[in-house]
Amino acid sequence: MTEATLFSGPHAHDAISLRRTMLLVILALLPATLFGVYIYGWPALNLLLVTVIACVVAEAACLRLAGKPVAIFLLDGSAALTGLLLAMTLPPWAPWWIGVTGALIAIVLGKQVFGGIGQNLFNPAMVARVALLVAFPLQMTTFVAPRPLSSAGAPDFLQGLTITFGGGFQVDAMSSATTLSYVKTELGRHTPLDAALAPVFNLMQHLAGFIPGSLGETSAVFVLLGGLFLLARRIITWHIPVAMLASLLLLATLLHGLHPDTFPGPLVHLVSGATLLGAFFIATDLVTSPVTARGQLLFGAGCGALVYIIRTWASYPEGVAFAILLMNALTPLIDHYLRPRVYGRDRKGEPLVYDGQREQAE
């Protein structure tokens, strides 16, 4: 009974494959990435390339060590996607070794030690980001104001190389705070909300993306478009993004309504930080999110709530990475308890009984 060539059905297949899925996600991220590279210039591009290449190399090395076939796994595009997502959450002018360390943590510790693709419990890009944040807080919280390519203050190609590889980043002269970190600091000093927001928050600018932040935090519009593209192509379903945004905005509206002076409103939360990137690209990571619709709703709601809680009451201004990691830890539990109802059975698993059903003679 061990004939390898005997194939049972089905003998037809949809035009979807692992590689296509990953490529579609990369495609969806492309507008936001290109825009980010445009406004942050050459250093951002350098960091992006370094991170992605490091991820791919790390994956190849791990596969070789594990004795698995390298080409087939490398070409499915998952390492490149992890690299891209990680680079989107790093400060764009960070030094190259941040990218490389992050890539190693993401691929080796976040994915391969668990057994490779499909086996990891936590989102690899988020694992790397959090590890970097905790280990290198200075480099990871130093952001710059946008300097679009070919504008006055933008570094040229050689200067970009210096910044990324040569440590040419002068912290005091060049850095700016992100919206959320600035607001958090000011609120901590008991400045009323309006005064805290005024210098940094302009809805139009946030939507367009000309604000300091990481590559993925900037243009809300491009990220949203990418997310809608993924929805249209059925790579992700609506449950996680909608649930996450809904719970975040609900909490924000509630608390802003109660104390308008101390809690930023829903719009601020929506367009600042990596909210949209997290909702559409990170929380929806296929491997680490629940598989059923109800589970996904719960997962999304939990992410949104945690993002708000961490942003408001914890010591970090940006909570998406932590929130998602915490909910990732709950995914197996959610999958275990929230199962779909089986056809012909009720929620408890017993066969359905209809009124007027005649008892069988046997």
Binding flag, residue 151, other proteins (CB under 8 A): no
Residue burial 57-95, b: 16+ Cβ < 10 Å; e: rest: bbbbebbeeeeeeeeebbebbbbbbbbbbbbbbbbbbbb
Burial class (CB in 10 A: 0-12, 13-18, 19+), 327: buried
Site for other proteins in 65-94 (CB under 8 A): 68-69, 72-73, 76
How is the chain split among helix, strand and coil, in percent rounded to 5? 60, 0, 35
Q: Does 11 bind other proteins (CB under 8 A)?
A: yes
Stretch in the footprint of other proteins (CB under 8 A) among 2-10, 189-197, 200-208, 304-312: 2-10
- The 291-310 contact track toward other proteins, x by CB under 8 A, reads xxx--x--------------
Sites for other proteins among residues 117-136 (CB under 8 A) = 117-119
Q: CA of 168: how far to CAs of 5, 44, 172, 267, in Å?
A: 59, 14, 12, 36
CB 232, min distance to other proteins, A: 16
| Residue 68: CB minimum distance to other proteins, A | 5
Shortest gap between Cβ of 329 and other proteins (angstroms)? 15
Which of 206, 189, 324, 209 shows the shortest CA–CA distance to 269? 206
Q: How many CB atoms lie under 10 A from the CB of residue 320?
A: 29
Q: Tell me how far, at minimum, the Cβ of 254 lies from other proteins, in Å.
A: 31
Stretch of residues binding other proteins (CB under 8 A), selected from 32-40, 64-72, 80-88, 156-164: 64-72
* Rounded least distance, CB 333 to other proteins, Å: 14
Closest contact distance (angstroms) between CB of 113 and other proteins is 15
Residue 361 is a binding residue for other proteins (CB under 8 A)? yes
State the Cα–Cα distance between residues 311 and 319, nearest whole angstrom: 5
Of positions 138, 152, 173, 353, contacts other proteins by CB under 8 A: 353
At closest approach, how far in Å is the CB of 206 from other proteins? 32
Residue 161 binds to other proteins (criterion: CB under 8 A): no
Please identify which residue in 204, 313, 343, 348 interacts with other proteins, judged by CB under 8 A.
343
Q: List phi, psi (to 5°) of 176.
A: -135, 160
DSSP letter (8 states) at residue 350: P
Binding range to other proteins, per CB under 8 A, among 5-13, 32-40, 52-60, 169-177: 5-13
In 3D space, the residue among 73, 74, 103, 79 whose CA is nearest the CA of residue 26 turns out to be 79
CA distances from 112 to 57, 78, 105, 117 (A): 13, 12, 10, 7
User: In angstroms, what is the minimal distance from the CB of 77 to other proteins?
Assistant: 11
Verify binding: residue 64, other proteins, rule CB under 8 A.
no
Residue 116 binding other proteins, by CB under 8 A? yes
Give the nearer residue to other proteins in terms of CB position, either 31 or 116. 116
| d(C-alpha 270, C-alpha 346), whole Å | 39
The count of residues interacting with other proteins (CB under 8 A) is 53
233 binds other proteins (CB under 8 A): no
- β partners of residue 175: 144
**Maximum C-alpha span of the chain:** 89
How far apart (Å, rounded) are the C-alpha atoms in residues 333 and 331? 5
The residue (of 117 and 149) whose beta carbon lies closer to other proteins is: 117
The first and second tokens of residue 261, run together, are: 């002076």
Distance CA 207, CA 205 (A): 5
Using the contact rule CB under 8 A, the part of the chain among 7-15, 125-133, 190-198, 246-254 near other proteins is: 7-15
The H-or-E segment that residue 195 falls in is: helix 193-197
Query: What are 262's two structure tokens?
Result: 């101390």
Rule CB under 8 A: which residues touch other proteins? 1-4, 6-18, 20-21, 68-69, 72-73, 76, 116-119, 237, 286-287, 290-293, 296, 335, 339-345, 351-354, 356-358, 360-361
